[in-house]
Chain A
Amino acid sequence: MDVLKILAIVGSGTVLLLVVELIRRGRLKERYSLLWLFAGGVLLVLSSSRTILEYISNLVGIYYPPSFLFLLAFLFLLLITLHFSVTISGLSEKNKRLAQELALLRQEMRELMLVWTDSKKNMNE
């Protein structure tokens, strides 16, 4: 086994274990872990089996098979960050709605308080 191979296996294995552990502790929601697990899994398989890696690299026309690993890892990261951007967009829209609803509720509350203090005053008189 060459060093690069060991490095690749340890690298992708660590990512997988870390993601699983984060899910187990409830720090990472399953919804956001799927891409990570998939990326870690694919990279682990490709780094442990030279034949598969070489076969695919040949197919795509990459002369140095390990660079296919880098390409794949890069693409996965790109996909994951894109996924984050989509998620953030959704969250900021929801966040905006919440802020607006809160402001509307505050005003309704203010009006109710005015009516309430008025009626209390009238009852005391």
Chain B
Amino acid sequence: MRTLVIVPAYNEEESLPGVIRDLRENVHLADILVVNDGSKDATNRIAQESGVAVLNLPFNLGIGGAMQAGYLYAEQRGYDIAVQFDGDGQHLAGEIQKLLLHVREGKADLVIGSRFLDQGGYNTSVFRKSGIWIFSTILSRMLGMRVTDSTSGFRAANRRVIEFFSRTYPDDYPEVEALVLLHKAKLRIVEVAVNMRERTGGTSSITPLRSVYYMVKVLLAIFIDLLKK
């Protein structure tokens, strides 16, 4: 099965070389695509020189637009599986295999790598933690399944999801919303326990101050999604 690893990157010149190295060493038989989301630093140059495929967006679209660009690429080039892998170095390439296994076996259309399924050892801010808890509770109800890490950007999608996301993908904070959209489209989601690393460079798109705004926006968005035709 042809597999593509999509690495969205916004101002990740520090961590990107390590991320690409990690992917090359630990993932075999997969192509790598870096989506440079209008970075102001050398992200684009570093990605191009490393010899991976690069989508260089002319300006910053936000993680949703960047990720969808990656899915469009996967859709156009006929990939069977697409893996979302953050450019900030918090995901471990060695863990991709766990996601791929489930997609290959056809157990689910989208597999989420969860930090919280096995152990609670991952440290994150109190704001984010409470936000994650609220989302998990609401989403678990909504989707009729236990969702422990709804904001995780570490995911693997099969061809059906690739096609779906290349048509429709939420904009601003897409991880949670994407799950609701998939559920409405009757696509199957499953969580798999994975390990993640603390950030190695750059800054998270979610600061404590923005957390509240993030939560309200995402909650609103998922309720609107439910109302949409």
Contact = CB atoms under 8 A, between A and B. Distances in A.
B33 to A, nearest CB: 8
Interface stretch (A28-36, A61-69, A98-106): A98-106
Interface in A86-101: 96, 99-100
Nearest to A93: B171
Contact of B54 (A96, A100, A102, A107): A107
A103 B76 contact: no
A99 B60 CA distance: 9
Interface stretch (B19-27, B64-72, B129-137): B64-72
B68 A100 contact: yes
B69 A100 contact: yes
B59 A107 contact: no
Contact of B58 (A99, A107, A110): A99
Contacts of B16: none
Contact of A99 (B48, B65, B73, B76): B65
B72 A104 contact: yes
A107 B48 CA distance: 10
B115 to A, nearest CB: 29
Contacts of A103: 35, 55-58, 69
Given A96-B65, A99-B65, A104 B76 contact: yes
A102 B54 CA distance: 12
A96 B35 CA distance: 14
B54 A110 contact: yes
- The interface residues of chain A, by DSSP majority, are classed as helix
What size tier do the contact residues of chain B reach?
10 to 19
A102 B59 CA distance: 11
A104 B55 contact: yes
Contacts of A102: 57-58
A100 B67 CA distance: 10
Interface in A10-68: none
B61 A107 contact: no
Nearest to A92: B171
A106 B65 contact: no
A103 B39 CA distance: 13
Contacts of A104: 55, 69, 72-73, 76
9 contacts: A100-B55, A100-B68, A102-B58, A103-B35, A104-B55, A104-B69, A106-B56, A110-B48, A110-B54
Contacts of A99: 57-59, 61, 65, 69
Contact of B61 (A96, A106, A110): A96
A99 B58 CA distance: 6
B101 interface: no
Interface string B27-60: 0000000010000000000001000011111110
A23 B54 CA distance: 44
Nearest to B54: A107
Contacts of B76: 104
Contacts of B68: 96, 100
